[in-house]
Amino acid sequence: AQSVAQPEDQVNVAEGNPLTVKCTYSVSGNPYLFWYVQYPNRGLQFLLKYITGDNLVKGSYGFEAEFNKSQTSFHLKKPSALVSDSALYFCAVRPIKAAGNKLTFGGGTRVLVKP
Amino acid sequence: EAGVAQSPRYKIIEKRQSVAFWCNPISGHATLYWYQQILGQGPKLLIQFQNNGVVDDSQLPKDRFSAERLKGVDSTLKIQPAKLEDSAVYLCASSSHSTWSPQETQYFGPGTRLLVL
């Protein structure tokens, strides 16, 4: 069965500093990997995804993520964080070929960007 | 392009009562999902439709939960009778591609927050 681990419940960073949100996954075969962001009282917003090809994926709002197959990781990064980036971030994995093929989410990481 | 619509946004009921949630996906999206998100956790898939057919309902508690998508567009999720542990946010998502497609990306609605007392 597939799973996603987000080892940090919360990440605190000062505005203007680099932001990293960690994600590791376990899946049979090759994965599709996703990052979503959730603002208070709102649904999940799609940020970016990795399908194949270049290991560095660029997404919305200046975010990017790096796929590392050997470490089974897909960390989310932003070079310079904004206060408005404060939200809940979810990593998710879907196997490329598997019965059910459903999207499995991690537990989420709360990001707090301080002015 | 309008996003995924859900109603109601909030619902408070007592245990053993019934409740229904409605979802209208993005126009033209054939695939529709219902997720349950318990506070402090990531969303968990309850059921997945492809047009009006069920693709995966393996994690749906079928003794109390039911869902339908009769005309392949709108969907309703029902809980009857509700339990305290059903308190959660119920998220609807839709996608223009099937789950086997590399292009498949799910777009989420704002959710319905359910509190069971």
Please tell me what DSSP assigns to residue A84: G
pLDDT for residue A95: 80
For residue B57, the chain A residue with the least C-alpha distance is A100
Q: How many contacts (CB atoms, under 8 Å) link A and B?
A: 57
Among A34, A52, A100, whose Cβ lies nearest the Cβ of B56?
A100
Q: Do A92 and B42 touch (CB under 8 A)?
A: yes
Q: Kindly identify which residue of chain A lies nearest to residue B102, measuring between CA atoms.
A: A51
Cβ separation A106–B105 shorter than 8 A: no
Per-residue pLDDT of chain B in tens (117 residues, 90 and over written 9): 679 999 999 999 999 999 999 999 999 999 999 999 999 899 999 999 988 899 889 999 999 999 999 888 999 999 999 999 999 999 999 998 776 676 778 899 999 999 999
Residue type, B59: Q
Question: Which tens digit of pLDDT belongs to each residue from A42-70?
Answer: 789 999 999 888 899 999 999 999 999 99
Contact B106 A107 (CB under 8 A): no
18-57 in A: which are within 8 Å (CB) of B?
32, 34, 36, 41-46, 49, 51-52
Instruction: Report the pLDDT value the prediction gives residue B43, as an integer from 0 to 100.
Output: 94
Which chain A positions have a beta carbon within 8 Å of B93's beta carbon? 43-44
Interatomic CA distance for residues B50 and B48, integer angstroms: 7
Burial class (CB in 10 A: 0-12, 13-18, 19+), B81: middle
Contact A102 B100 (CB under 8 A): no
Question: How confident is the model at residue A110, as a pLDDT?
Answer: 97
A102–chain B Cβ distance below 8 A for any pair: yes
Residue B106: half-sphere exposure toward Cβ, Cα within 13 Å: 33
State how far the Cα of A106 lies from the Cα of A93, in Å rounded to an integer: 9
Distance from CA of B21 to the nearest CA of A (A): 15
Residues B24, B73 contacting (CB under 8 angstroms): yes
